[in-house]
Structure 1
Amino acid sequence: MQVMKFDMCYICLACFCIYVSGCERSNNRQIAGEVEGERIYLDEVDGMITNSLYEYLFAISETRIIAANELINLKVLKIEAGSRRISVDSLLSMEMRRISMQETKLKYIRDNALQGGVVDERNPFKLHPLDTPAGAEILNNSYQKFLRIRLVDELRVKYRARILLSRPQPPQVDLTNVTSHARGNLKALHSVTIVSDFDCPVCREAYPELSKLFERYSDHVRFEAISLSSSVTPPILFAECAAKQQKFWEVYGYLYGQKGYDFNIDSLIAQFELNREECKSCLESRDQHKIIETDMNRLRQVGIEVTPTVLIDHRVYHGPLTDKAIGRFLDDLFKETPNPGN
């Protein structure tokens, strides 16, 4: 019943998209409302909900991809078991035992830094030491799941399994006149743009995951950073002034990497070895303040108002802000349109 609900939702939204595109092609704009004789057109209404529409479509496509992967996993297990004339349960028992000889439980604990304990997915806020019954059970379940995944990954490669479902494409956001700072592969075909605010708690929580993403893909992706806040804050202003002395990324990493920081301009100037006079002049410059303010207004004009917002190839990404989730999205993107030379 739940699957049917998803399908109906997907069909309705898809029809809506077709209808919207049809309206845009029509010479006669459909009227959505009227105030004192002044018309409000349907394409104007649709423009306000574009990101919400694609967020729903993205969630539906992700659900389908998860289900498709699960079916593929079952299929490769059945094919392998059939080729050996044994049951799937026998295959799992035999092959997981083989993999455990190489990937031991001790190695699994070490590789995943579990020496201090494990958490139950149903209650992630409580740490269970490994020498407790609960901790031992959680560890064993997690380890068995790991072994199964390793086996399935081997079989997916062996039987050339792949997902052919494509994700919906949100509209590209025009960031041409917005100041950004780039690192990684500056000539890469693909880009990850992170719009964030140094004073945003969610941005701070996402920073470690986005840092891991950069470490994994810095050779293949252009990473861009843009600041957005309700006003020009001292940290944003300081980062932009540091950028004039090629110290933006050092300041960016410091401000997001600290649980709390003492925002003392003089000590920060000394810490990052900035030219004091140039930095002070920039911080006091009304022109610099105006540039940042203009950039943030431009972001709002193109529909970006929330931090953190991640864009991939200048299209808003609607998935989880984790290294693994965004990494999977990038890997799929590389298969469709690989970087030249990668």
Structure 2
Amino acid sequence: MKYLVFLYFFFLYSCSNRDKSIVAEVNGYEISASELSRLTTQETFDLLNTAYEIKLKALDDLIKHKLIEQEAAAVGKTFNVFLDDYVKEMINGKEDSLLMMFGSVDERVLHSRERLSKVSSGSIEGNISLRNDIRAAVIQHLADSLYNKADIKRYLYPPKQPQCVISDLNVRYRGNLNAATTFIVASDFDCKRCVDFEKTLKQIYSEYKDKVRFGFINFADEPTLASLSCEAAVKYNKFWEFHDAIFEHEALVDSAFVFDTASRLGLDVEEYKQELLSAVNYDRVNHTINKLMERGLFATPTIIINDRLIYITNSYEELTRLLKQELEL
């Protein structure tokens, strides 16, 4: 995986007459805001998604608070009085049974139980901790119960996926080559996240290969033996065979592996070697890497569906949901 270090600029309006679209000047050469935006496209999008997730979590917490307020108002009590009375009624000497109940609900409560096992030794600290944790678990259980039964409509939406066109670059395709929906992965053969994601991608490809055009574009820090060997195989229509073999290979991709793969695929190894080591092959791979950086990509794997940048995810469920949306348009 690679991460390029970018600086984020927040622009404040001032009384200056300076053109707001210019963010810097270097020896008289102007750098525009649009250039900066292109360079930070993916990082900015990721930050916007992080902010969205924080707001979504806060919204859920606020909704649960409002639901408890409604319950309190229904019986003529304030929020705090209602909770105090509810907790007292629920506990009422049932600490052990509550611990057993809430200790198996989910991870949100489980961490409390793990801490309790270390401090509930009859000490003052242990008793205070025990009571606080049980109270928190009881309130959480109430909030979750009300939340699950409530009619909730949210009007908080994730940021719109920015456009990221790379189809004019060195993308290799398979699947339904005539499909209107395109799923491109910018990936690196030497990236552990990419190797792990390949398992998810195989599952998605198997299910959607008749409906979607799947693309791969190499995005390493620099041209590597793995990326060059795949690109050299294009001349012999063996790109995908090399691609799959490399991702399935669990050891280092060295020259012995590459030439063994070429031989196994029936290529003239000496001719293939010349193609692999050619300046044209190297320049093609290097040009692609540079162009991807210019267009704001900074990490692998990066997923682009129909020229829209997807928030970093390895989730089969999330990616297939997005694909279904595109296929239904």
Note whether the superposition's TM-score is higher than 0.5: yes
Quick one: which amino acid aligns to residue 270 of structure 1?
S
Q: Which protein, 1 or 2, shows the higher relative CO under an 8 Å CA cutoff with sep ≥ 6?
A: 2
The TM-score, its normalising length taken from structure 2, stands at: 0.58
Alignment equivalent of 1:267, drawn from 260, 272, 281: 260
Displacement after TM superposition at 1:210 (Å): 1.1
1:58 aligns to 2:49 (yes or no): yes
Displacement after TM superposition at 1:191 (Å): 0.9
Quick one: which amino acid aligns to residue 239 of structure 2?
F
Displacement after TM superposition at 1:63 (Å): 7.5
The answer on whether the counterparts of 1:61 and 1:168 sit within 8 Å (CA) in structure 2 is yes
Give the structure 1 partner of residue 243 of structure 2.
252
Alignment equivalent of 1:329, drawn from 300, 303, 322: 322
Displacement after TM superposition at 1:207 (Å): 0.9
1:291 aligns to 2:301 (yes or no): no
TM-align CA RMSD: 3.8
The correspondence of residues 67-106 of structure 1 with structure 2, limited to 5 A, is none
The correspondence of residues 1-342 of structure 1 with structure 2, limited to 5 A, is 28-30=19-21, 32=23, 41-59=32-50, 167-261=158-252, 263=254, 264=256, 265-335=258-328, 337=329
Displacement after TM superposition at 1:169 (Å): 2.9
Displacement after TM superposition at 1:266 (Å): 3.0
The TM-score, its normalising length taken from structure 1, stands at: 0.56
Does the residue aligned with 2:236 lie in a helix, a strand or coil?
Answer: coil
Return the index of the structure with the highest Cα Rg. 2
Does the residue aligned with 1:296 lie in a helix, a strand or coil?
Answer: helix
- 1-side partners of 2:27 and 2:231: how far apart? 46
Report the identity percentage.
27
Displacement after TM superposition at 1:51 (Å): 2.5
Deviation digits for residues 42-75 of structure 1, max 9, x if unmatched? Answer: 4454444432332233345568889999x9xxxx
Quick one: which amino acid aligns to residue 195 of structure 1?
A
Displacement after TM superposition at 1:38 (Å): 6.5
Displacement after TM superposition at 1:316 (Å): 1.6
Segment drifting more, 194-203 vs 326-335: 326-335
The answer on whether the counterparts of 1:242 and 1:274 sit within 8 Å (CA) in structure 2 is no
Displacement after TM superposition at 1:318 (Å): 0.6
- 2-side partners of 1:242 and 1:33: how far apart? 43
Change (3 A) 1:193 1:63: farther
Change (3 A) 1:236 1:46: closer
Quick one: which amino acid aligns to residue 180 of structure 2?
L
How many residues align structurally? 232
- 2-side partners of 1:171 and 1:228: how far apart? 19
- 1-side partners of 2:47 and 2:167: how far apart? 27
- Segments of structure 1 that go 5 or more residues without pairing to the other structure are 1-15, 21-26, 72-119, 123-151, 153-161, 338-342
Does the residue aligned with 2:43 lie in a helix, a strand or coil?
Answer: helix
- Segments of structure 2 that go 5 or more residues without pairing to the other structure are 1-9, 64-105, 109-147
- 1-side partners of 2:171 and 2:24: how far apart? 38
Change (3 A) 1:302 1:230: same
The answer on whether the counterparts of 1:194 and 1:225 sit within 8 Å (CA) in structure 2 is yes
Give the structure 1 partner of residue 129 of structure 2.
none
- 1-side partners of 2:29 and 2:234: how far apart? 47
Change (3 A) 1:202 1:278: same
- 2-side partners of 1:216 and 1:164: how far apart? 32
Quick one: which amino acid aligns to residue 308 of structure 2?
R
- 2-side partners of 1:68 and 1:249: how far apart? 45
Quick one: which amino acid aligns to residue 301 of structure 2?
P
